[in-house]
Amino acid sequence: MADTGLIQRPALSDEGLGASIQVTAYDEFGAAREGHIAAERALTIYLDKREVLTLMTLGSQPELLVLGWLKNQNLIENISDVESVHIAWDVEAAAIKTRGGVSELDEKLEHKTVTTGCGQGTMFGNLMERLSEITLAKPAIKQSQIYDLLKSLSAHNDVYRKAGAVHGCALCQGNEILSFVEDVGRHNAVDTIAGYMWLEGIVGDDKWFYTTGRLTSEMIIKVAQMGVPVLLSRSGVTQMGLELAQQLGVVLIARAKGRHFLVYNGAERIEFNAQPVK
């Protein structure tokens, strides 16, 4: 369901680049092999001409990445306050122009947390104060839903199959994949989906979030900020990720592949309705 309130959409450039490049490598017998590797580009964010941070990204959807980064950093609350996002790859820059500046920007940038995200993700502002304001939906979940969604997701991971070295994230509703994004870091992929949700006014109450990466504190924080109550991963969980999921009420399902998964938080909300495989 989308938020039907009127918003003033920002002007966005359209500077997405190819997510992989073709290279020649040599196998264990010295034979040349043509293949692909994941592209990795630096993108420095300028907020009203102020340099804030440099991200490493595939660059496939940079405008949505920047919007989602703004949203997840809690630097701008209303997307109507963003006038434009312009990507210029020749100078590796993302220029964000706001309509009236960012309130208390210096104070927000003073509080900096380096997370365990790939490439050391960074989060600004007072995290715990922001987290205390989050209330998530409490959906009922069926075991069969998890299997159906994993089956739907198996058709994605295009860049990973071609080049490796990337993480994938998806926003899901039922068995439908609303958005699937791959990037060099899972924090970039989740930010890109957050940007998509913000731009389109999509709420997270009835959505699930999937990631190929481990469920760290950073992933829990970002998904909770997006209002998504269920987090599914084919990887593992960190201690702080589990503690935050318990605190915020995020259903945490990890090691999910094929017909196997482990529920680390929220098992009481799952109806185990599928027959075990003999």
67-81 pLDDT, tens digit each: 999 998 888 989 999
The answer to whether 105 touches 46, Cβ cutoff 8 Å, is no
Identify the pLDDT of residue 116.
43
Which regions of the chain are under pLDDT 50?
1, 4, 113-120
Identify the pLDDT of residue 30.
79
The answer to whether 86 touches 95, Cβ cutoff 8 Å, is yes
User: Tell me: the pLDDT tens digits for 70-121?
Assistant: 998 888 989 999 999 999 999 999 999 999 999 888 887 776 544 444 444 5
Identify the sign of the CA torsion 109, 113, 114, 118.
negative
Identify the pLDDT of residue 263.
93
Identify the pLDDT of residue 119.
41
Compute the half-sphere exposure of residue 22: CA atoms within 13 Å on the CB side of its CA: 3
CATH 3.40.50.10790 given to domain 141-271: no
Identify the pLDDT of residue 121.
53
Identify the pLDDT of residue 277.
53
Q: Which two tokens stand for residue 157?
A: 């991971």
Identify the pLDDT of residue 164.
52
Identify the pLDDT of residue 178.
94
Amino acid at 17: L
Q: Where are the domains of the chain?
A: 11-130, 141-271
Identify the pLDDT of residue 26.
85
Identify the pLDDT of residue 213.
87
Distance CA 81, CA 84 (A): 9
Identify the pLDDT of residue 114.
45
Distance CA 13, CA 217 (A): 32
* H or E segment and range at residue 129: helix 127-131
Identify the pLDDT of residue 162.
55
Say which DSSP state 2 is in.
B
Identify the pLDDT of residue 157.
64
